[in-house]
Amino acid sequence: SQTIHQWPATLVQPVGSPLSLECTVEGTSNPNLYWYRQAAGRGLQLLFYSVGIGQISSEVPQNLSASRPQDRQFILSSKKLLLSDSGFYLCAWSSSEYTDTQYFGPGTRLTVL
């Protein structure tokens, strides 16, 4: 069966510091990968998605970037965090088959102070 991991689970960072969040998927090959962000009391917003190694598409302009160095690894980064980057970050995967479902990881709660 497939599993998705995210770390760290929680993170408190000062404004202006760098960020690196990691997501890995097990039990599948060539997944589609997604990064979502959830602001307090709101639904999830898609930030980035990837259909393969080195292929990243951005959905919204922002202070963040994403990379996919390996088939089942997806990284969310920032060079300098802003207060507005605080939120709950969720990674999801789906099969590369058409109409397949997205499955979410446990999330990382980021607080920027």
Partner 1 sequence: DAKTTQPPSMDCAEGRAANLPCNHSTISGNEYVYWYRQIHSQGPQYIIHGLKNNETNEMASLIITEDRKSSTLILPHATLRDTAVYYCIVRVPLRYGGATNKLIFGTGTLLAVQP
Site residues for partner 1 per CB under 8 A: 32, 36, 41-46, 49, 51, 57, 59, 88, 90, 92, 94-107, 109
Alpha carbon distance 22, 67 (integer Å): 10
User: What is the spatial distance between Cα 23 and Cα 111, in angstroms, rounded to a whole number?
Assistant: 18
What's the min distance (Å) between Cβ of 100 and partner 1? 7
**Centroid of chain to Cα 102:** 13
Is the Cβ of residue 42 or residue 80 nearer to partner 1 in the bound state?
Answer: 42
Closest approach of partner 1 to the CB of residue 45, in Å:
7
φ, ψ dihedrals at 87, nearest 5°: 160, -175
> Which residue's CB is nearer to partner 1, number 15 or number 26?
26
Question: Would you call the peptide bond into 14 cis, given omega within 30 degrees of 0 as the criterion?
Answer: no
Nearer to partner 1, 36 or 74 (CB): 36
CB of 38 to partner 1, least distance (A): 8
Instruction: Tell me which residue of 112, 36, 18, 27 sits closest to 74, measured CA to CA.
Output: 36
Residue 27 CB, nearest distance to partner 1 (Å)? 16
- CB of 44 or CB of 73, closer to partner 1: 44
The position carrying tokens 């898609």 is 46
